[in-house]
Amino acid sequence: MVRTIDMQEMRYLNLFEKVSRVRTRYCFNYNGSIVFCVPMPLVSKAIGERGKNIKKIQNILDRKIKVVPVPRDITDAEFFIRAIVSPITFKNIEVKNGEIIVSAGKNKAALIGRGKRRLFEMEKVTKGFFDKEFRVV
């Protein structure tokens, strides 16, 4: 994921590192919450015992926080997207011709969001991590 980090994201990353003692370069907004991507072996350390690190950051920022593992390649796309959009579920995910296609079923409106806000946020995330377009069917 190659992109510039603005000052607000830099502050979030610094706070996350100070509280959890886990260094990461990936942080983005999705559905009003802040999502931090950390290496898979460090996810439990980042969350802390009984979620104490996450609770502390949530109290400081007054926003919901999620910690998800960094995807290694396109094979981790389904697990990565499911972790970001949870508790919303979808049927399955396909990767075809440079596109990630999510079959949503009756949760399509929840994945797209009001004014396509969540769709645009997820498009930015998938473009940054996988260099693929995102579509909800």
- Strand-strand pairing, 99-103 and 92-96: antiparallel
State residue 46's pLDDT score. Answer: 97
What pLDDT, on the 0 to 100 scale, is given for residue 2? Answer: 57
Flag whether 61 is in a domain.
yes
Fill in the DSSP letter of residue 87.
T
CA dist 60 and 47 (Å) reads 15
List C-alpha distances in Å: 88 to 7, 82, 84, 91, 113: 30, 8, 9, 11, 11
* pLDDT tens, N- to C-terminus, the chain (137 residues): 557 888 999 999 999 999 999 999 999 999 999 999 999 999 999 999 999 999 999 999 999 999 999 999 999 999 999 999 999 999 999 999 889 999 998 999 999 999 999 999 999 999 999 999 999 99
Query: In the chain, what's the furthest Cα-to-Cα distance?
Result: 42
For residue 93, being part of any structural domain is answered with yes
- The pLDDT of residue 36 is 97
Asked, for residue 19, whether it belongs to a domain, the answer is yes
| Same-domain pairing of 106 and 121 | yes
What is the per-residue pLDDT for 1?
54
Task: Give the CATH number for residue 83.
Answer: 3.30.300.20
| Domain-embedded: residue 107 | yes
Q: Which domain holds residue 11?
A: 7-69
Domain count, the chain: 2
State the Cα–Cα distance between residues 127 and 100, nearest whole angstrom: 10
User: In this structure, are 45 and 65 located in the same domain?
Assistant: yes
Residue 1 lies in a domain: no
Query: What does 18-62 look like in DSSP terms, one character per residue?
Result: HHH----SEEEEETTEEEEEE-GGGHHHHH-GGGHHHHHHHHHHT
Output the pTM of the full model: 0.91
Domain edge (last residue) among 26, 52, 69: 69
* d(C-alpha 22, C-alpha 17), whole Å: 5
Listed residues 45, 69, 93: the one ending a domain: 69
Do 64 and 78 fall within a single domain? no
Looking at the domain assignment, is residue 90 inside a domain?
yes
Q: Which residues pair with 29 in a beta bridge?
A: 34
